Structure 1
Amino acid sequence: MTLACAAMLSLFVGSGFAADFPVIEIETTTSNATLDGVLRAALNTTELERAAEGKAQGWQPVVEAERLRLEELMRGQGYLEARVEMSASTVEAGAPEKVILKPLPGPLFRVGMVEVDGLDGVATDAVRDDVSRQMMEAAGRPARGDLLATLEDEVLWRLRTASFPFVHVTDRQLSPIPGQALARVRIVVDPGSPATFGAVTYSGLVGLKEEELNRLQPFTQGDPYDPEALDRFREALLAHPSVKAARLRLPDAVDAGGQLQLRAELEEGQVRSDEAAGTYRTGLVAAASAIAALAIRQVSVASLRPGRSRWPLWLEVVPVLLLAAAFYLIAQRMLLLAFPG
């Protein structure tokens, strides 16, 4: 058992507080060492600090809130009949120096049955079978809170993939099955309206054209809604060399025709003016060098020895390459400066 809470509280309020507010300890003697560690680490000093500052009236409400919180923690770990008791001597005392909380977890409940309501009439047989198979995989596993959250996510994802983008959970229940250490899980969903893809409008465009970006869409207007298609579209936008960032926004509901009118917010990559100007200057230097080489060639032709009217081949090629590189660099940077992105 740890007295860390008492030590911390004494730093806040001094010795006078210990006489007015008891030390809270947890008697972690359950059969699960992991649960014992979770309970010891979960002892909350926040309410104790508030009591020390005079924001809580008396020690009983603080201890009761802590007791209920620890019970909920154990139930979230799958111990659905868990409770936390206080020692009898502590309850009878008027102003005890110490309060001992004793966790009684009871049996660990496992998932025995999972029911999903709200699928009738909206999901196909294939979707319902897929959901049922996923729910059956949870049978026999501890009825923990994180498992229930995972089951909800699985149901929501499968219905969104079945073209119900606004499906949400309206109710959830976890109840013990009488006479067994098994639990019944019930998830109620509201599928909402089915949807198809509508048009995509863009914002943030500077140099790009909508027609160019529309070719990246892996869907067409009127196709059933599919979140995976949206992910592929986002990846295709980000893979475009002129797109720095992309965000797809869905409306809050389908329109009168059952379509989702999407909005793509883009940020185009901008060319820095100093970089463009620097390369532009490089192109000018290359062009000047090529022109100078050609001028020297023309002047020097007259000085060639009789019977020869051409320079060596490599001297003929170098000016041509310099000119080609110069024109390419200048044209590229002029276009980028005129049309950023």
Structure 2
Amino acid sequence: MPAIVATLAWAAMLSLFAGPAVAADFPAIELQTTSNDALDGVLRAALNAPELERAADGAATRGWQPAVEAERHRLEELMRGQGYLHARIEMPDAADDAGSPDKIALRPIAGPLFRVGMVEVDGLEGVATDAVRDDVSLQMMEAVGKPARGDLLATLEDEVLWRLRTASYPFVRVTGRALQPIPGQALATARIVVEPGALARFGAVAYSGLVGLKQDELSRLQPFKQGDPYDPDMLERFREALLGHPSVKNVRVRLPQAVDADGLLQLRAEVEEQNLRADDATGGYRTGLVAAVSALAALAIRQVSVASLRPGRSRWPLWLEVVPVLLLAAAFYLIAQRMLLLAFPS
């Protein structure tokens, strides 16, 4: 069988820094192939050369066997996480007094690829409603027939947690997880144990960090009322609504550690307001002042030039009458706005 040799270039480097005896005391690792190219690629990428390099540095005092044995067990767990639940890696025995071999061959034996035959979620009895249990069970059934991989189990955990949080259990947590082979078949049971925690409803929202904003103004942005069932989507909508306020720079909505005696979540919204810098206000003030001076100059020119109008005309065209008025209105608005923002920053 062809072999994939993990080229240990680090051994040569170690010989430069730690002396030739260190590299000679630690064997090279040869990882043999399986019949599965994808699995071989995973194993090659996972071979922990840096950890073996550190082990080689202390091989003279601790020996090479513990480090290689630990690497063998780690690769076995990796193969099981890929769905090969009966996977093992064989390594030839070597006596302690036999010295360090030049090369150690690790032989992966994958065994059958297990698929999910059943999904069990424990901990829902008497807590979640029938509709919630049916929703969780329906989602879990979609995993049946898929390879019994560790990442699939993690996905199932996330699905269970999300569905229970959406069902008003914000403190749900996973307390156990396992992929258990079904005897006599290449099938496994994916088992997840949850602790739902307390059923929760929205309580009041306390605001902190307010300077120019008023609590009543922000309370109108709440998409829920006190006593409504807890919903993480509703909470996210509330956070986005607060961020959408023109005077809010940042916000963080915090949940308490537990519900109160009435089953309510007393929320806390930490608000950071937009602060107007002094130079921004000064710049706006100057802009308004320039506009005001321009408008006043236009009005003065108009009054002076009335006498120079052509015979038969006693006033300027209408658009020349309107422009100075608009300039004055815009100037006074800008000046008043900036002065208020300087007096009451928000």
What's the TM-score bracket when you normalise by the shorter of the two chains? over 0.9
Q: Does structure 2 retain, via aligned residues, the 8 Å contact 1:79–1:108?
A: yes
Q: Does structure 1 retain, via aligned residues, the 8 Å contact 2:209–2:271?
A: yes
Of residues 108, 114, 117, the one that matches 2:113 is: 108
Aligned to 2:37: 33
Of residues 43, 47, 72, the one that matches 2:47 is: 43
Aligned residue pairs, count: 340
Q: Deviations over 1:110-151 (max 9, x none)?
A: 000111111111111111001111111000000000000000
Aligned to 1:12: 14
Query: 2:274, 2:106 → 1: CA distance?
Result: 60
Query: 2:96, 2:72 → 1: CA distance?
Result: 13
Moved more, 292-301 or 61-70: 292-301
* TM-score in terms of structure 1 length: 0.93
1:218 aligns with 2:223: yes
Query: 2:5, 2:342 → 1: CA distance?
Result: 69
Query: 2:192, 2:6 → 1: CA distance?
Result: 41
The alpha-carbon distance between structure 1 residues 53 and 88, as it changes in their structure 2 partners (threshold 3 A), is: closer
Of residues 54, 57, 65, the one that matches 2:62 is: 57
Aligned to 2:135: 130
Q: Letter of the aligned partner of 1:127 in structure 2?
A: V
Aligned to 1:77: 82
Moved more, 36-45 or 1-10: 1-10
* TM-score in terms of structure 2 length: 0.92
Q: 1:161 deviation in Å?
A: 0.7
SS class of match (1:26)? strand
Query: 2:7, 2:270 → 1: CA distance?
Result: 50
Q: 1:319 deviation in Å?
A: 1.6
Q: 1:92 deviation in Å?
A: 9.3
Q: Letter of the aligned partner of 2:250 in structure 1?
A: A
How much identity, in percent, do the aligned residues show?
Answer: 75
Query: 2:309, 2:36 → 1: CA distance?
Result: 100
Q: Deviations over 1:176-205 (max 9, x none)?
A: 101000001111111111111111111222
Query: 1:74, 1:90 → 2: CA distance?
Result: 27
Of residues 178, 182, 187, the one that matches 1:173 is: 178
SS class of match (1:265)? strand
1:333 aligns with 2:327: no
Query: 1:89, 1:300 → 2: CA distance?
Result: 111
Q: Deviations over 1:68-114 (max 9, x none)?
A: 00000000000000000013579994421111100001000000011
Q: Does structure 2 retain, via aligned residues, the 8 Å contact 1:248–1:265?
A: yes
The alpha-carbon distance between structure 1 residues 21 and 243, as it changes in their structure 2 partners (threshold 3 A), is: same
